Structures are given as C-alpha cells and as structure tokens.
Amino acid sequence: MQKFSTLRAVAAPLPMVNVDTDRIIPKQFLKTIKRTGLGRALFFEMRFDAQGKERPEFVLNREPYRKAQILIAGENFGCGSSREHAPWALLDFGIRCVIAPSFADIFFNNCFKNGILPIVQPKAVVEKLLDAAGRGANAIVTVDLEKQEITGPDGGRVTFEVDPFRKHCLLNGLDDIGLTLEKEAKIAAFESKQRREQPWLYR
C-alpha cells in the first residue's frame, strides 16, 4: 500500500449528499477482483452518457479536476452496499483523500485499508472547502497527515482527527497484509518451534 504523508493537490468539489457506493462504482463493474483499471468506472453514470461519451458538465471531466487527488464531498459519503471496489475505483482514478461532513462506516474503514485518507470536517468547513475547490486551477489543498492539518488555497488551516493506529498504517503504507508481515520473524519462529514440538501437524 502506498504511504500517505503530505498531499498537495487539486481538490474537486462534489457537493452531493448520500453518494452511495453504487454511484461511486456501478454494479456491472464488480466482476473483477483486481484493484487496477477501475478508475474508468468511477462515477460512471455521472461521467458518461448512454453512448459512453463524457458528460462535459461533470466535475471530473473538466480541467483541472481530471487530475484531482482530493475530493470534497457532502454528507454520508459512501453509503449503501459495502463494496470494496468503491475505494479501489477512487484510488485508481488518483483520489488519495476525501473530505466530507460524514461517511458511511464500512466505506470509511475500507478507505484506510486501501491507502485513502477520509477526513471528517464540520459542514461549515466543508462548505468553505467546496467554495475554494471551485476555483479551478487555484483549487490547491494541502493535507498533512503527520500534523493532522488541512491548508486551503487561501492559506487558512484547520485540524482534523484521525485514529492513531490508522494514522500509523497510512504513514507507513501498511495494509492488513503489511501489518501481518511486520510480525514475520515471530511467525517463522513460532512455526519452527511448532514443527519441532508437534510435527504431526505438518504431515
């Protein structure tokens, strides 16, 4: 998993509430278990028309938001089903951070497991960030995970809360597998001892 420390990037405004995971990535794209290639399917029904052509009015189809790495969203982002493809699609598109007043619990947890930082901020702060993100090429927001601080385009700063364990995992690029591999030496020592003392388990 890619490490997350400080992210300075274009922020895309998506002022919609109750954006569910089917809207983030529709069900027809859930056939794969690969985490790559799903960026094309992100917000598919909002980004493309029935003929597969881009809808020019959708924010991620416009410059400079095509390369946005931060998404400013409305309340209850990621609600609906628990599909892990939703954060996969966001990450494959290039989104590393989502800022919203609230998130659905399962989506919130899945983000951390896949290297995306979801940040909860009061509605008033999110509205200011949405306004700032609407400035196009000047919509540069900086997210500093170590300091737990967001800096807007105008230099204004706000802090955010994050669970210390999840912060550690993001800073060090540790997903569930990475956390397990940190204990690789102890696991190997245990298996070696068990082989000696209980060899029948390995026959």
Q: Which tens digits make up the pLDDT trace of 145-190? A: 999 999 999 889 999 999 999 999 999 998 766 666 666 677 777 7
Do β-strands 157-159 and 70-73 pair in parallel, antiparallel, or remain unpaired? unpaired
- pLDDT category at 131 given cuts 50, 70, 90 is very high
Q: CATH says 6-162 is which class? A: alpha beta
| Amino acid at residue number 148 | Q
Bigger pLDDT: 35 vs 132: 132
Predicted confidence at residue 181, as pLDDT, reads: 63
> Could you tell me the pTM of the whole model?
0.88
- Residue 6 bridge partners (DSSP): 144
Q: Is 3 helix (H, G, I), strand (E, B) or coil?
A: coil
Do β-strands 149-151 and 140-144 pair in parallel, antiparallel, or remain unpaired? antiparallel
User: 183 φ, ψ to 5°?
Assistant: -100, 20
Predicted confidence at residue 180, as pLDDT, reads: 63
Q: Is the peptide bond before 64 cis (omega within 30 degrees of 0)?
A: yes
Every domain of the chain with CATH number 3.20.19.10 lies at: 6-162
Predicted confidence at residue 65, as pLDDT, reads: 96
The answer to whether 130 and 75 are in contact (CB under 8 A) is no
Structure tokens at 158: 């706000």
Burial class (CB in 10 A: 0-12, 13-18, 19+), 62: middle
Predicted confidence at residue 179, as pLDDT, reads: 63
- Cα angle 106, 95, 87; round to 5: 25
Predicted confidence at residue 89, as pLDDT, reads: 97
The pLDDT mean for the chain works out to 92
Of these ranges, 117-131, 134-148, 172-186, the one predicted with the greatest mean pLDDT is 117-131
How far is it, in rounded angstroms, from Cα 14 to Cα 98? 10
- Give the ranges where 28-104 is alpha helix by DSSP (H): 44-47, 85-93
Burial class (CB in 10 A: 0-12, 13-18, 19+), 42: buried
